[in-house]
Amino acid sequence: MKKLFLVIASIFLVSTPILKISACTNILVSKGATKDGSVIITYSCDGESLPHLRYRPAKDHAPDEYISVKNYYGKEGKVKQVSHTYAVVGLMNEFQLSIGETTFGGRSELQNRDGLLHYWVLMNLTLERAKTAREAIKVIAELTDEYGYASTGETFSIADPNEVWIMEIIGTGKGGKGAIWVARKIPDGYISAHANMSRIGEFPLDSPKVCLYSKNVISFAVKHGYYNPASGKPFKFNEAYDPINPQRLRYCAMRVWSIFRRSAPSLNLSPDFARAVKGAKRYPLWIKPDKKLSVQDVIALMRDHYEGTDYDMTKGVDAGPFGAPDRWRPITWKVDSVEYAWERPISTQQTAYSFVSQARSWLPNPIGGVYYYAVDDTYTNCYVPLYCGIEAVPKAYRTGSMSKFSWDSAWWVFNFVSNFANLKYSYMIKDIQKVQRELEGEEFQLQPAIEKTALELYKTNREAAKKYLTDYSLTRGEKVVRKWKELGEFLIMKYNDGYVRDEKGRVKSVGYPQEWLRKVIKLRGEHFKLPVWKAKG
């Protein structure tokens, strides 16, 4: 038998998945909720790890091939290979199918460490084997049934050019078989979001066009005391398999609230549920946005520190003198035996990479699917358009090591800029956003012309169209990293030693904001106050 080794560190985008513990955010946007009729999902993979972006070409396989898999806990096994696997760029395949996830954990006793497949393996195997979102759900279910599920609770975002689904899955416990899961289609014209907390509550049992689920989803909960039919209450997946607590609400539900409050201000959604106010209602699984969203709008939603709310992380003494939104881990901490917690925003310095996928049914697959990819914090990054039909990815996004800084690695270049910005954030963020707007604006301005040329090529020579899009995507990636390196060097020059250097090279002492100085005076004013001497005579 022929053997294909599935090496987790090389097939997946993150070299050390275990560091991404319950720390991601996804947005799901249906066709009817977008300005152009595309389907969009987002995924921020948050965790201290250096990702290597991968391209995997389509490939035919012999009948006797299999994949060797070793789960994180040492369990080894083999997965039967299919006759043909599809090409994949990151987490989007050649048919415009994309998958994102967030870990909700759920009931810890339901993790089955003897299961073979972790969620990141499932995502990659599924992208190689499925063409549509509905087919992807079927593949995930079949794989876990046959080989076992090793991770804790997961929420998947699954999108194709026509549909977007949210799927939640959890194991059946030590020695158990398969997995427990439910999947719901996001209604046309609506958006959804999830952030490390189970989102699917009640669901229809007889509507396979919009809802799919495992046979054991309710019976297992009844058997294990997670749900009592005699209560007269409807069965809800999230209540049965993912009990909540105040800390998790603050950490998870706040992000969903912020996405929804920005997308539909007219709903006037209260933050009470996210702030663990007793009796507050859960947020709906999906909402209708006040206006239809573009890719740029969705990217903007991914850049959020609760600005403009009572929880704005650029305000207050914790933001320091220059309004820096980053809060260093751990998120929870104690002082005099009292527990506190920083806010957990959508934009975070711990993001390893993120993507915004766009799938368009009216275009050929190689042109219709765009995988906007970026590394590091979503607020200070820059997205690069990678078409799903390309046959290579930019070198800077597939190289680097966390143990050695390198200007050749996109991850290090972006981390340099975002970390340096914390020294004088309110000043430097303006310089960063200027370059960010220029580069991303240029990309969206070029998109119609690029795709028009690609479409003309595609009519007569599909391979030429793919090569054209590959060359364009590689060039954009290289340009973005080069410009960001120049930005980093510019920031060091402009803000060296706390000064601000103007366009003529003159340095200026800008000091600290008056608002922050008043706080210093309130705490230690007498210490810094200068004595006043009365003049003699």
Task: Supply the pLDDT for residue 279.
Answer: 93
Q: Which two tokens stand for residue 197?
A: 């907390």
Query: So where are the chain's domains?
Result: 99-304, 363-498
Task: List pLDDT tens digits, range 105-134.
Answer: 999 999 999 999 999 999 999 999 999 999
364 cis-preceded (ω within 30 degrees of 0): no
The upper half-sphere exposure of residue 75, i.e. CA atoms within 13 Å in the direction of its Cβ, equals 19
Taking alpha carbons only, the member of 367, 359, 377, 401 closest to residue 473 is: 367
- The proportion of the chain whose per-residue pLDDT surpasses 90, expressed as a percent, equals 93
Enumerate the H helices of 48-185 as residue ranges. Answer: 119-129, 133-147
Query: What are the CA-CA distances from residue 319 to residues 167, 307, 345 (Å)?
Result: 37, 12, 13
Nearest to 47 by CA among 18, 73, 7, 10: 18
pLDDT band at 280 (very low <50, low <70, confident <90, very high): very high
Element of type H or E holding 57: none
Number of helical (H) and strand (E) elements in the chain, helices listed first = 13, 24
Six-digit token string for 400: 């680097």
pLDDT category at 48 given cuts 50, 70, 90 is confident
How many residues make up the chain in this entry?
537
pLDDT tens across 454-469, in order?
999 999 999 999 999 9
CA distance 26 to 517: 39
- How many other C-beta atoms are found inside a 10 Å radius of the C-beta of residue 312? 16
Long-range pairs for 127-131: beta carbons < 8 A, 24 or more residues apart: 127/86, 127/88, 127/91, 127/92, 127/93, 127/97, 127/98, 127/99, 128/56, 128/82, 128/85, 128/86, 128/88, 128/93, 129/82, 129/85, 129/86, 130/93, 130/97, 131/86, 131/93, 131/95, 131/97, 131/160
Per-residue pLDDT tens digits for 161-210: 999 999 999 999 999 999 999 999 999 999 999 999 999 999 999 999 99
pLDDT of residue 536: 75
Q: What is the DSSP secondary-structure string of 432-492? A: HHHHHHHHHHHHHHHHHHHHHHHHHHHHH-HHHHHHHHHHHHHHHHHHHHHHHHHHHHHHH
Residue 430 to residue 129: CA distance in whole angstroms: 44
How confident is the model over 140-167, as pLDDT tens digits?
999 999 999 999 999 999 999 999 999 9
Measure the CA–CA gap between 515 and 526, rounded to whole angstroms. Answer: 17
Range name among 70-74, 213-217, 362-366 with the lowest pLDDT average: 70-74
The Cα–Cα gap between 186 and 162 comes to 11
**pLDDT score for 23:** 82
Q: Residue-wise over 361-382: b if at least 16 C-beta within 10 A, else e?
A: eebbbbbbbbbbbbbbbbbbbb
Q: Angle CA(234)–CA(165)–CA(27) in degrees, nearest 5?
A: 100
The pLDDT value given to residue 13: 38
* pLDDT at res. 537: 62
Nearest alpha-carbon partner for 152 in 216, 223, 102: 102
Distance separating alpha carbons of residues 310 and 150, to the nearest angstrom: 40
Query: How confident is the model over 398-421, as a mean pLDDT?
Result: 97
In this model, does residue 277 exceed pLDDT 80? yes
Mean pLDDT of 23-35: 97
